[in-house]
């Protein structure tokens, strides 16, 4: 369970990029760079892995390896899909409501 009083640290894109560059260009380990910069090792490892995927260091992308651009597009498409589903549900309910009003009263047919 997470600690509700502990705030989550945020890092800018520039901070992330500098930390990743130390790992990739200088050849330092994620653990060494994380300790030097006071970063969580797991966060830095994720950033480095994503940077390698973006650069194409892993060869052809495997299942689940999306570049940052692909991740952004996927998030945008999922949001658009959610909005379209909401609109569809709204119009379906509205059509059912108006169709109900158009029915003749029972017993008068």
- pLDDT tens digits, one per residue of 60-97: 666 678 888 999 999 999 999 999 999 999 999 999 88
The pLDDT of residue 81 is 97
Mean pLDDT of the chain: 86
Burial class (CB within 10 angstroms; exposed 0-12, middle 13-18, buried 19+) of 48:
buried
Can you tell me the distance from the alpha carbon of 7 to that of 4, in angstroms, rounded to the nearest whole number?
8
C-alpha 97 chain-centroid distance: 37
DSSP, collapsed to helix, strand or coil, labels residue 39 as: coil
Instruction: Kindly write down the DSSP assignment for every residue of 57-109, as one continuous string.
Output: TTSS--TT---HHHHHHHHHHHHHHHHHHHHHHHHHHHHHHHHHHHSPPTT--
| Predicted structure pTM score | 0.59
Mean pLDDT confidence for 37-64: 84
Can you tell me the distance from the alpha carbon of 76 to that of 22, in angstroms, rounded to the nearest whole number?
31
């Amino acid at each position: 369970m997470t600690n509700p009083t502990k705030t989550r640290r945020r890092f800018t894109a520039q901070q992330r990029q500098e930390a990743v560059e130390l790992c990739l260009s200088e050849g330092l380990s994620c653990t060494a760079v994380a300790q030097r910069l006071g970063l969580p090792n797991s966060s830095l490892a994720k950033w480095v892995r994503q940077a390698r995927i973006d650069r194409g260091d892993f060869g052809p992308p495997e299942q689940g390896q999306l570049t940052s651009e692909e991740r952004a597009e996927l998030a945008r498409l999922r949001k658009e899909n959610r909005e379209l589903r909401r609109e569809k549900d709204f119009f379906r309910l509205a059509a059912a409501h108006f169709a109900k009003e158009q029915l003749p009263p029972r017993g008068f047919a």
